[in-house]
């Protein structure tokens, strides 16, 4: 597996987003199968594994960290573990997609890191992300806690997710950031406005939902159904029946590129962002071995900068459905 550098941290060119093993995509996956999947990922050269303290179920809110801690324990020296702090779910809400409550108070961060270290069965987290910004806490305050945790050896690097340019600059000035982690795909390009700043400051970009929650794999058909009680895709606009018709031009573009490069639609979607910038690392999630192999193969596809520019121009002008933009954050 090819390597990339996020800030000063070396990782595999493609990471593994682990959330869907436990959270938001129906009931948690089979435990033994996920242990085997993570082991296969490590043996295939993947080094970057992303989780968070809130990826779980009402019965076990920290299910994913516990799973990943167990899975990576035999391979800890070969793994870069990314986890997150700063959110908790509002389980009193009646919404199908539970809102999250931001909490980045220093004392809350301290509780979070100790819990994550225990669940992950490790003495340090490789990169620790503020999951969402907390309007009640200044970035400099969060950055100071991160500096303290780095000095104590409990984390090696830190980053922020879904933050504004001003927040990123202020946080980075206080304690240098290694990476940001934001949604990014052919359907969700609104964070490209941050690219000049990221290059200026030497900050990497971990891209979650790089396949638009799976739509760009082209494995779904109009009318596909999801469990409204446990699967977030049930409410995502890109999976509405009419969206498949709206996105026909997008699918045709991706299919044409897939034919040209003898690749799958998913591989083209990943290769597109890999070839845009050397500091972008997509972290697609999966529960399936064949999908993991498919995603890994995207790192070997080389699309020229001229063709990337042509793809971007086409994406900017074609009709496209709405795409899911994230979970609602409510005040504490």
The C-alpha atoms of residue 52 and residue 162 are separated, in whole angstroms, by 15
Splitting the chain (332 residues) into consecutive groups of 10 residues, what average pLDDT does each group show?
Answer: 96 97 91 98 98 93 97 98 92 72 96 98 98 97 98 98 97 98 96 97 98 90 81 83 93 97 98 98 97 98 97 96 75 50
| DSSP string for 84-111 | EESEEE-TT---SS--EEE---HHHHHH
Residue linked to tokens 């390009």: 189
Give the residue from 106, 134, 126 showing the smallest Cα distance to 48. 126
Q: How many C-beta atoms surround the C-beta of residue 114 within 10 A?
A: 11
The tokens of 328 are what? Answer: 């609602």
Residue 332: predicted pLDDT = 47
Residue 331: predicted pLDDT = 54
Note whether 46 and 1 are within 8 A (CB): yes
> In angstroms, what CA-CA distances link 97 with 94, 104, 116?
9, 22, 24
The C-alpha atoms of residue 218 and residue 181 are separated, in whole angstroms, by 24
Residue 270: predicted pLDDT = 98
The tokens of 305 are what? Answer: 């900068």
- Cα 22 versus chain centre, distance: 14
- Cα 71 versus chain centre, distance: 19
**294: CB partners within 8 A, 6+ apart:** 264, 266, 267
Q: Which long-range contacts (CB under 8 A, 24 or more apart) does 88-95 make?
A: 88/54, 89/54, 89/61, 90/330, 91/58, 95/328
Residue 237: predicted pLDDT = 80
The C-alpha atoms of residue 3 and residue 222 are separated, in whole angstroms, by 37
Residue 93: predicted pLDDT = 73
Q: How many helices (H) and strands (E) does the chain have?
A: 11, 13
Indicate which residues carry an active-site annotation: 55
What is 3-330's CATH topology? TIM Barrel (3.20.20)
Give me the residue spans of the domains in the chain.
Answer: 3-330
The C-alpha atoms of residue 57 and residue 38 are separated, in whole angstroms, by 20
| DSSP string for 269-332 | HHHHHHHH-TTEEE--B-S-HHHHHHHHHGGG----HHHHHHHHHHHHHS----------EE--
Pairing type for strands 48-50 and 87-89 reads: unpaired
């Amino acid at each position: 597996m090819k390597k990339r550098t996020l800030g000063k941290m070396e990782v595999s060119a493609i990471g593994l987003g682990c959330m869907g093993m436990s959270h938001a995509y129906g009931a948690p996956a089979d435990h033994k199968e996920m242990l085997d999947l993570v082991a296969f990922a490590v043996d295939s050269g993947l080094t970057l594994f992303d989780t968070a303290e809130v990826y779980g179920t009402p019965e076990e809110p920290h299910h994913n960290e516990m799973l990943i801690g167990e899975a990576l324990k035999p391979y800890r020296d070969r793994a870069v573990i990314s986890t997150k702090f700063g959110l908790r779910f509002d389980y009193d809400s009646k919404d199908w997609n539970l809102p999250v409550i931001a909490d980045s108070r220093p004392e809350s961060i301290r509780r979070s890191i100790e819990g994550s270290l225990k669940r992950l069965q490790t003495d340090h987290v490789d990169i620790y992300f503020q999951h969402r910004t907390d309007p009640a806490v200044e970035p400099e305050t969060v950055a100071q806690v991160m500096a303290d945790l780095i000095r104590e050896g409990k984390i090696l690097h830190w980053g922020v997710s879904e933050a504004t340019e001003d927040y990123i600059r202020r946080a980075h000035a206080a304690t240098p950031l290694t990476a940001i982690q934001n949604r990014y795909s052919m359907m969700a390009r609104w964070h490209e406005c941050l690219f000049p700043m990221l290059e200026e400051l030497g900050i990497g970009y971990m891209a979650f939902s790089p396949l638009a929650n799976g739509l760009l794999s082209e494995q779904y058909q109009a009318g596909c159904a999801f469990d409204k009680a446990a699967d977030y895709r049930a409410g995502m606009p890109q999976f509405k029946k009419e969206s498949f018709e709206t996105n026909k031009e997008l699918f045709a573009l991706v299919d044409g590129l897939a034919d040209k490069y003898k690749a799958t639609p998913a591989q083209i979607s990943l290769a597109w962002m890999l070839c845009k910038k050397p500091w972008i690392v997509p972290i697609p999630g999966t529960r399936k071995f064949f999908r993991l192999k498919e995603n890994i193969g995207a790192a070997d596809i080389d699309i020229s900068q001229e063709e990337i520019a042509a793809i971007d121009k086409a994406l900017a002008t074609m009709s496209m459905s709405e795409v899911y933009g994230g979970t609602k954050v409510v005040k504490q």
